[in-house]
A and B are shown apart, each in its own frame.
Chain A
């Protein structure tokens, strides 16, 4: 069976602190349970360090750099897991165990099968 990669993008409400000992411990529990499927992971710095870049018009167009995250929703992106799973159902099963699933949202995005594992 050829495995597929899933990026699990983690969201929490704005103003959340996802680096508290409690939250980190929960991620450690998930990390230990999911070693076989986690192909890579990253926690992001708070949104204050975020920069949004847009290019007007298309390739080679004017580059606009703004401070802050792009998303204007109530949740903000806090990190991601790359899950290697046989299909969407398996990925959903793992995503539902990510602590962010109850602290915010987890968005599953299929990853294009280009190249090899990024990690």
Chain B
């Protein structure tokens, strides 16, 4: 990282913490975002000249509060009609008397505000894609352009999504608070789903693909870490962080030099990040201890991922345990993608005939390339090259990305030459 990037990163990370508190004191997400944005611009001008202050967050917090106060003072001087139009979104009277402007919030207050921000961004009254966008905008400090690149949507689409989400929060009065205990499990599930989605649905950038690298998988790990700090000992939070770390640990092996995906069976296990796997294992063990024998969906997924992370080889994986974990996961909620992965594990445990039967028992996946690819593999092992080729061709026709198509085309070529 260059010094400039380091500076921008400090502003981005600390800005989120400043924002969390400012939303509460201003009662408006939009006003708080504007003020933090102004403070960030001021920081990027002042810090290279004067040096990074000893407490960057305090500097940003005080500067943002002054910026917000300036805006409110200007608005107060304007005629009533204009004020109503501009300030209709403000929920609580701004607590910005001059003597509190230079106050620095204690860490415990900032933590509470960050948790409020997490739950507000992931409020069920917002669409999932809006939750994801808001979380990345506010908690990760990414701008609309960066989020748009991460999800391969036009920047204008992402900007509109963020604007609508802010309006919904202001107009419907989505409260800025951590939900009461009775609602917490359901609301926490929404927060976990958003963080998980950021890791799984984002587009992993390959080197040189974008001018600015947007590493949303790393952002998801950071958000999961933050959540684990804010809600220590929560079993599903521990499990989600473990799951994300286990997935990230395979990153060096997940793609080849051309950026094409490498399936688990073909990955070079020697380049997996063992430190991350060790950290994840400890987190998962704590999740098990704290969950009282009732494993949630993220714990089951983390166990599954850990099965692979600790196996000596693909063939040496404990497939019986893998199938059992998929059975438990399916008992929580019927999900064709999980059923597909289970069928692949059945192929490894019981052979291709059993695997093919399990695959054919799943309905509703005929439009999914991975189902056809899994069928092709089971058929190939059964020696039915003709049907295997047909299945691969169908997978090829349905595969959504170029790297996946290249992988399937290679397999098809290998099968044809044999």
Contact = CB atoms under 8 A, between A and B. Distances in A.
7 contacts: A4-B173, A87-B173, A87-B174, A88-B125, A88-B173, A92-B125, A113-B88
Contact of B172 (A86, A110, A113): A110
Interface string B144-168: 0000000000000000000000000
A95 to B, nearest CB: 11
Contacts of A113: 88
B179 interface: yes
A39 to B, nearest CB: 15
A110 B173 contact: yes
Contacts, number: 22
Nearest to B179: A89
Interface residues of A, number: 9
Please indicate which of the listed interface residues A86, A88, A110, A113 has the most CB atoms of chain B within 10 Å of its own CB: A88
A90 B88 CA distance: 20
B171 interface: yes
A88 B88 contact: no
Interface string B94-137: 00000000000000000000000000000101000000000000
A89 B179 CA distance: 9
Majority secondary structure of chain A interface residues (helix, strand, loop or mixed)? mixed
A89 B171 contact: no
Contacts of B173: 4, 86-88, 110
Please indicate which of the listed interface residues A86, A110, A113 has the most CB atoms of chain B within 10 Å of its own CB: A110
Nearest 8 Cβ contacts at the A-B interface: A87-B175, A87-B173, A110-B172, A88-B172, A88-B174, A110-B171, A88-B173, A89-B175
Interface of B: 88, 123, 125, 171-175, 179, 183
Nearest to B173: A87
A89 B186 CA distance: 13
Contacts of B125: 88, 92
Contacts of A92: 125
A113 B84 CA distance: 11
Interface string A69-109: 00000000000000000111100100000000000000010
B372 to A, nearest CB: 35
A92 B124 CA distance: 11
Nearest to B123: A88
Contacts of B88: 113
Contacts of A87: 173-175
A60 B183 CA distance: 49
A89 B120 CA distance: 11
Contacts of B175: 86-89
Nearest to B125: A88
A4 B172 CA distance: 9
A86 B175 CA distance: 9
Contacts of A4: 173
Please indicate which of the listed interface residues B125, B172, B179, B183 has the most CB atoms of chain A within 10 Å of its own CB: B172
B292 to A, nearest CB: 28
A87 B92 CA distance: 12
Please indicate which of the listed interface residues A4, A89, A108 has the most CB atoms of chain B within 10 Å of its own CB: A89
A106 B173 CA distance: 18
A86 B91 CA distance: 10
A92 B125 CA distance: 9
Nearest to A4: B173
A87 B88 CA distance: 15
Nearest to A87: B175
A89 B174 CA distance: 7
A32 B324 CA distance: 51
Given A86-B173, A88-B123, 11 more contacts: A4-B173, A86-B175, A87-B174, A87-B175, A88-B172, A88-B174, A88-B175, A89-B183, A92-B125, A108-B172, A113-B88
Contacts of A88: 123, 125, 172-175
A4 to B, nearest CB: 5
Please indicate which of the listed interface residues B88, B174, B179 has the most CB atoms of chain A within 10 Å of its own CB: B174
A87 B170 CA distance: 10
Nearest to B176: A87
B336 to A, nearest CB: 26
A27 B265 CA distance: 60
Nearest to A85: B173
A110 B173 CA distance: 8
Contacts of B174: 87-89
Contacts of B179: 89
A66 B307 CA distance: 64
B23 to A, nearest CB: 14
A89 B183 CA distance: 10
Contacts of A110: 171-173
Interface in A46-74: none
B416 to A, nearest CB: 51
A104 B80 CA distance: 42
